[in-house]
Amino acid sequence: MIAAERGTIEQLIKAQAYGLGFDLVGITTLGPAETVAAFDDWLASGYAGEMEYLARGAEKRADTRRPVHGAKSAIVVALDYGGREPSGPVSRYARGDDYHDVMVSRLRELHHYIETAVGAPVSGKPYVDTGPILERDLARRAGLGWFGKNTMLINPRMGSFFFLGELLLDLELEPDAPFEADRCGSCRRCLDACPTSAFREPRVLDSTRCISYLTIELKGEIDDAIKPAIGERVYGCDICQSVCPWNVRFARALKEPAFASRAAIAGKDARTLSREILAMSDEDFRTAFKGSPMKRAKLGGLKRNAAIVLANLGSETGIAEVEVETDHPPDSLSR
């Protein structure tokens, strides 16, 4: 058994996780989710909008032992995606490769390493934003940070520009101490900076008013009254993170090549990117955004967003030029 030779299994797991490129790692014991009641209240208030999938798996979501039969512990990791990158028409997290693929692959590597370290098969499964798990709950319990007023998990050493993932295992591990402090204090910068007033109160987000939801998850038309507030944002929004003092001070430069801006986005302002999106065919879209999280909005959604951005920039003439020159007019949503 490798652990007996080189240190405790917990020490080895953390060292390997950091070696795989993760920026934070913590361990917690599985059990009843502490925030499930608040989440259920949030769903009942209608704040999830069209994201009906969030209500699925309620029984499993209530207890983190249920998604993986026999699971006892969770290794929770975070991977930074570059909070020092300049703002732009695409949210920082979505400019490169899909984080789900990047993180799940590494969590599987970590799983394989653990089996080698203990010298036996270990039942387990990685999750990255795709299962009935309240990930912030697990992350806080694993000592990775606290819930900010903008609902993001904030770490005191690196802010909040990071992805969360977890590896649920049928393995008894010594848990880390949970993060108990609330370090937001009286600060309201994230709440006050939101251009659509999406926060009903601290730590309660009405997704139906959130620019990220509107430009990514919403499938239909965006309300005319809210379109001007979208500004130049084609996909997602970083405002409530960008103004957070913990990010202003501790956000890190991009170090993960997989999250670097792809050619379809890199160096392009909102006007240029919007015109190019409006000119795209389905084949163009598949080529430009292969393996990108931006595929979630689909081409129709991106064209809708691009048309709104150009209208906000006063570019009706630009839209007409795209329609005539490319023979690929915006679909009914963006029209």
Q: Which positions are catalytic? A: 129
Q: Are 141 and 28 in contact (CB under 8 A)?
A: yes
CA–CA dist 309, 330 (Å, integer): 13
Element (H, E) at 169: strand 162-169
7 — alpha (psi -120 to 50), left (phi > 0) or beta? left
Long-range CB contact pairs, 150-157, < 8 A, 24+: 150/190, 150/191, 150/199, 150/205, 150/240, 150/241, 150/244, 151/203, 151/204, 151/205, 152/240, 152/241, 152/244, 154/183, 154/184, 154/244, 154/246, 155/24, 155/78, 155/246, 156/183, 156/246, 156/250, 157/250
Name the H helices within 45-127: 58-62, 99-118
Q: Nearest CA to 271 among 321, 226, 222?
A: 321
Q: Are 194 and 138 in contact (CB under 8 A)?
A: no
Q: Encoding tokens for residue 88? A: 């732009």
Q: Nearest CA to 27 among 139, 159, 135?
A: 139
CA–CA dist 186, 184 (Å, integer): 6
57 — alpha (psi -120 to 50), left (phi > 0) or beta? left
Which residues touch 103 (CB under 8 Å, ≥6 apart)? 77, 79, 126, 128, 163, 165
